[in-house]
Structure 1
Amino acid sequence: MEERWSNEHVLSLAPDQASLKAAGKLSAPAPWTDAGWGGGALWGACKGSGKTPYFPCVDLSGPAYRCTCPSRKFPCKHVLGLLLLWSAGSPAVAEGAEQPEWVAEWLAKRRDAAEQKAVRQQERRESAKDDAAAARRAGQRAARVAAGARELRLRLADGVRHGLADHASGGWEEVAARMVDAQAPGLAARARELAHTPQDGLLEEYALLHLLAGAYGRVDELPAPLAATVRTRIGFSTGADEVLAGPTVRDRWHVLGSRDTADDRLTTRRIWLRGAKTGRPALLLSFGSPGKAPEVALPTGRVLEADMAYHPGARPLRAVLGTRYGEPEAAPPGPPAGVSPAEAVAGYGEAVADDPWLDAWPAVLGAVVPVLGPEGWQLTDGRSAVPVRHGSAPEQALWRLAAVSAGHPVTLFGEYGHAGFAPVTAWSADGRAIGLGQ
């Protein structure tokens, strides 16, 4: 059994003198019935001015109080009177009595609330530990990446110092492995590509890779969009949930084309869209295990109303599909609006000004004719032309494009970059979308 509280302890709980005076009148056995204490609680029934008595109760472990009276004072006079009666050792309060059901229910609710509070506090403590651990891991990775970037810059500088003629002996596979150890997969991929870069393109690739490694060295000083681009190029990723938690763009998105590529590890699907109202391009990436198609599938030539959230960057393109507002529906008759080859080149130039490591930018070419010349396929509108990027589409797909054109202008979607135009979708004279996939 709990120890009885002293009279002084009880009096110290009174919210004011008026409550003390009123409680004094209730500290005698006369108004009380069914009073008892046990199991950490004190309870009773106090006769009032009405027919129904008031039922005060005290959780002695809290302490905590409750009473059925309408008083806004806490504790009320009935609770104080019961406590005074109990502290005086009055036989009117039965010691070790069995708790009434209403007392047991109140105590059970309090225990449940206390347990839930303890669970929440523990979860917060564990979350704080997880956050601290995540911050520690992020700091460790940042330090490793920074060290890897510094090492890569030295290797690139040595390569230039010794002459690009010795490039083949540069050990770039070993350098790529070092970047993997530094948790910089983006740097590793670019370093690995150097081993297969033609001699006439080496200096450009050296410069871009040196620029990227140097940019990470001062990434905290860069504007936020450019810093995000650098981190992405280095190999830091942003989860879809985190992207969707940011701002979204609602539009009617025209599906311009899609393409699947596969290797030994996974199948990658790229879906390009363009907002009808905003004109913004968007690229959706989805992945599947070898031999299995990715889950995201949007038919080319259809229109989808949806929210789109973009990954952070200086030139946002990759996006995550958010809330849909219906199933894909037919696009308006005819091909999408396009630009001239000269405008596509200018558009890529503007994009590269924001992101120097950008290989290509989506573009819809309007009214171009595919022409096969001595140096390969060209796309021309009669005033300007762009070359078709070597290997961007199978030869039979380019002849199919020529057949669709039949010497007449067609609308063509693809990506234009420094290596030329990579065609993805063509629109025939009757407005049908024809994929030119690999």
Structure 2
Amino acid sequence: MNSQGEFSTAEQVLALAPDAASRKAGSRLAAPGSWSGTGAGECAVWGLCAGSGSTPYRTVVDLSGTDGPASNCSCPSRKFPCKHALGLLLLHASDEEAVRAGGEPPDWARTWLTGRRQRAARTATATVTAGPSTVEAEAEAEGDGDAAAAGSSAGQAAARRRAEQRARRMADGARELEDRLADLLRSGLASADRGGYGQWEETAARMVDAQAPGLAARVRELAAAPASGEGWPSRMLAECALLHTLNQGFLHLDGLPEPLAATVRSRAGLTTDTAELLATGEPVRDDWLILAQRDAEDGRLTTRRIWLHGRKTGRMALLLSYGAAGRAPELTLPVGLSLDADLVYYPAALPLRAAVASRHAPPRTTGEPPPGTDVATALARYGDALRADPWLDVWPVVLADVIPAPDAELGWQLADARTEAALPVDPRCTDRTGLWQLLAVSGGEPVTVFGDCGHAGFTPLTTWAPEAVPL
């Protein structure tokens, strides 16, 4: 895989941002209307970005470096990479039409790229004490075919070095975060309430600098705890415990079973390359029922979560896709239909996220809901999932024979028609219209409901009574 492919998703690009302000500003620039003269080729991306002046900013990013991307921009920013470089990379990752591959750099971009690469070559040559490089020696001894193999080995070695460098930066970030948590516990949780959100946002920004976006997201969860209402100290202590466990897991990856180690890497922010996953992973073919599709925005990204259920295997699968700067993700699947497809699961202690490897037929209509379970069994399975992945936010659940019931004191609940058990609806569920629609579909009778089960309750997403009705 070339260096350019390592920044093919918005997540990977935003991990390069020096701070939160740069991420936000870069995301706003990830729109075709901001750019002209864009192109990609020769392991580089370039473009002209309209600014406040009459002359657009010239931005070029070199993706061939062994230590990560380098950029040059005519803007006055002293940040690296600047918001224009981030916006250009985000646009390149999300819109192939806006940044077409296969072109040649314009003169201003080629001048900088040539100079940079010549300097890099001179630096590399200076480190060789005698004789030709290993790759050149092997080429001379074995011929062009072996030279290509040697070049491939050199590329793989460079990729390993980059991975090792990032792992070291992330480990340094995890150790710094451990010190921050220790300071918090020594001074008492009350100090977190007095310190405000800003101190934690600075810590989150430092985790982004360490290229650990997963740790940064956990820090922001911690920062929000003091403003979460009554009982916040216990919630903050729980978040501290989860963050400490994640830090320690990342710092001791070698001692973990590989499935759990894969989960820890993913939670800390190390992503698995999708192309490599599809090339090496074992596909699972099934008739996948499309259970739900849900979008969420955080000001920087639109995250689309699509839940699937395999009718033959009984497995759940989560498809994730992203759109930058308020743009909708490209992947979309109609809820209620079935898709004959091969999926490949990302490695984890509890494989749930997957990618579509191939489709064998267009989505087709199906009227049957997936098999559901009772409330007690659903909670037991959620507990089992938490043992495998303590950082799990939600777990997909299909509840059978439940009756939606609003309660003035307890809030909305899903009552099991066969037992006296009831599952509370997550109070953070803002789709009150959807809840009343669910009640209307039910008419006071038992229905089958699919949704997310989390520590705060259940969020209904789709119901069948007797046919699929997306909320």
Q: Which moved more, 1:130-139 or 1:260-269?
A: 260-269
Deviations 1:185-216 (A, max 9, x none): 10011112211113231110000000000111
Deviations 1:240-263 (A, max 9, x none): 112212111111111111112234
Q: Which moved more, 1:154-163 or 1:346-355?
A: 154-163
CA distance in 2 between partners of 1:224 and 1:242 (Å)? 18
Q: Which moved more, 1:179-188 or 1:261-270?
A: 261-270
Residue 334 of structure 1, aligned match among 349, 352, 368: 368
Match for residue 254 of structure 1?
289
Matched, 1:398 2:443: no
Residue 263 of structure 2, aligned match among 229, 232, 238: 229
SS of equivalent residue, structure 1 residue 138? helix
Q: Which moved more, 1:230-239 or 1:298-307?
A: 298-307
For 1:24-173, list aligned pairs within 5 A. Answer: 118-168=143-193, 169=195, 171-173=199-201
CA distance in 2 between partners of 1:301 and 1:401 (Å)? 16
SS of equivalent residue, structure 1 residue 210? helix
Distance verdict in 2 for CA 1:220–1:285, change over 3 Å: same
Matched, 1:209 2:243: yes
Deviations 1:261-298 (A, max 9, x none): 23433322211011111111000112234443322222
Residue 211 of structure 2, aligned match among 183, 190, 197: 183
What TM-score does the superposition give when structure 1 sets the normalisation length?
A: 0.70
Q: State whether residues 292 and 306 of structure 2, in contact with CA within 8 Å, keep that contact through their aligned partners in structure 1.
A: yes
CA distance in 1 between partners of 2:304 and 2:329 (Å)? 7
Q: Which amino acid letter does the alignment assign opposite residue 220 of structure 2?
A: R
Percentage of pairs with the same residue = 53
Q: State whether residues 311 and 370 of structure 2, in contact with CA within 8 Å, keep that contact through their aligned partners in structure 1.
A: no
CA distance in 1 between partners of 2:277 and 2:168 (Å)? 25
Q: Which amino acid letter does the alignment assign opposite residue 238 of structure 2?
A: E
> Could you say what the CA RMSD is over the residues aligned between the two structures, in angstroms?
1.8
CA distance in 2 between partners of 1:268 and 1:176 (Å)? 20
5+ residue gaps, structure 1, are 1-113
Q: State whether residues 255 and 298 of structure 1, in contact with CA within 8 Å, keep that contact through their aligned partners in structure 2.
A: yes
Q: State whether residues 368 and 379 of structure 1, in contact with CA within 8 Å, keep that contact through their aligned partners in structure 2.
A: yes
Q: State whether residues 221 and 239 of structure 2, in contact with CA within 8 Å, keep that contact through their aligned partners in structure 1.
A: no
Match for residue 50 of structure 1?
none
Matched, 1:379 2:414: yes
What TM-score does the superposition give when structure 2 sets the normalisation length?
A: 0.65
Match for residue 416 of structure 1?
453
Matched, 1:318 2:346: no
Name which one, 1 or 2, has greater alpha-carbon Rg.
Answer: 1
CA distance in 1 between partners of 2:428 and 2:190 (Å)? 27
SS of equivalent residue, structure 2 residue 322? strand
Q: State whether residues 338 and 365 of structure 2, in contact with CA within 8 Å, keep that contact through their aligned partners in structure 1.
A: yes
CA distance in 1 between partners of 2:302 and 2:143 (Å)? 47
Q: State whether residues 393 and 422 of structure 1, in contact with CA within 8 Å, keep that contact through their aligned partners in structure 2.
A: no
SS of equivalent residue, structure 1 residue 412? strand
CA distance in 1 between partners of 2:215 and 2:155 (Å)? 29
CA distance in 2 between partners of 1:335 and 1:131 (Å)? 47
Match for residue 402 of structure 2?
368
Deviation at 1:303, TM superposition (A): 1.2
SS of equivalent residue, structure 2 residue 440? helix
SS of equivalent residue, structure 1 residue 252? strand
Distance verdict in 2 for CA 1:177–1:323, change over 3 Å: same
Deviations 1:13-43 (A, max 9, x none): xxxxxxxxxxxxxxxxxxxxxxxxxxxxxxx
CA distance in 1 between partners of 2:172 and 2:337 (Å)? 47
Match for residue 27 of structure 1?
none
Q: State whether residues 372 and 448 of structure 2, in contact with CA within 8 Å, keep that contact through their aligned partners in structure 1.
A: yes
SS of equivalent residue, structure 2 residue 412? strand
Deviation at 1:137, TM superposition (A): 1.4
CA distance in 2 between partners of 1:293 and 1:181 (Å)? 27
Q: Which amino acid letter does the alignment assign opposite residue 214 of structure 1?
A: Q
Deviation at 1:119, TM superposition (A): 4.5
5+ residue gaps, structure 2, are 1-138
SS of equivalent residue, structure 2 residue 167? helix
Deviations 1:98-148 (A, max 9, x none): xxxxxxxxxxxxxxxx99x95443332322222121111111111111111
CA distance in 1 between partners of 2:147 and 2:397 (Å)? 53
CA distance in 2 between partners of 1:298 and 1:361 (Å)? 20
SS of equivalent residue, structure 2 residue 386? helix
Q: State whether residues 393 and 423 of structure 1, in contact with CA within 8 Å, keep that contact through their aligned partners in structure 2.
A: no
Aligned residue-pair number: 319
Match for residue 272 of structure 1?
307
CA distance in 2 between partners of 1:189 and 1:269 (Å)? 17
Q: State whether residues 309 and 370 of structure 2, in contact with CA within 8 Å, keep that contact through their aligned partners in structure 1.
A: no
Match for residue 307 of structure 1?
342
Q: Which amino acid letter does the alignment assign opposite residue 281 of structure 2?
A: G
Q: State whether residues 263 and 290 of structure 1, in contact with CA within 8 Å, keep that contact through their aligned partners in structure 2.
A: no
Q: Which moved more, 1:258-267 or 1:360-369?
A: 258-267
Deviation at 1:328, TM superposition (A): 1.2
Residue 292 of structure 1, aligned match among 327, 337, 346: 327
Deviation at 1:377, TM superposition (A): 0.6
CA distance in 1 between partners of 2:211 and 2:321 (Å)? 23
SS of equivalent residue, structure 1 residue 351? helix
